[in-house]
Amino acid sequence: MGLMEQGSLVQQTIDPDLATPVPQATGCPVAHKPPPAAVCPVKHQPVAEPAGVCPFPRSTGVVQRSRADMVVRKVLRIHERPEGASSKDAYAAFQKSMMISGLRCTLTYVIFPFVIPVLGLAAGVGPLIGIVIGVVAMTCDVFTVRRFFAIDHKYRWYFSAVAVSVTGLLTVLLVQDVMHLVG
Residue by residue, pLDDT tens for the chain (183 residues) are 444 444 444 444 444 444 444 454 555 566 655 554 455 566 655 555 555 555 555 555 667 788 999 999 999 998 887 787 788 888 888 898 889 888 888 887 788 777 777 776 666 677 888 888 889 989 989 989 998 998 888 889 999 999 999 999 999 989 998 998 888
List, as own/partner pairs, every contact residues 62-71 make where C-beta atoms lie below 8 angstroms and the sequence separation is at least 24, other chains included: 63/152, 65/152, 69/149, 69/152
pLDDT at 20: 44
**Gap between the Cα atoms of 51 and 35, Å rounded:** 15
Burial 68-107 (b: 16+ CB within 10 A, else e): ebeebbeebebeeeeeeeeeeebbebbeebbebbeebbeb
pLDDT at 160: 93
Which amino acid appears at position 178 of this protein? V
What 8-state DSSP symbol labels residue 107?
I
E strand map for the chain: 2-4, 10-13, 22-25
DSSP-assigned beta bridge partners for residue 24: 11
Cα 100 to the center of its chain, rounded Å: 20
Contact, 154 vs 118, CB < 8 A? no
pLDDT at 126: 75
pLDDT at 10: 41
Instruction: List pLDDT tens digits, range 93-104.
Output: 889 888 988 888
- How far is residue 61 from each of residues 42, 55, 89, 103, measured CA to CA in Å? 25, 18, 21, 40
pLDDT at 165: 94
**Is 108 strand, coil or helix?**
helix
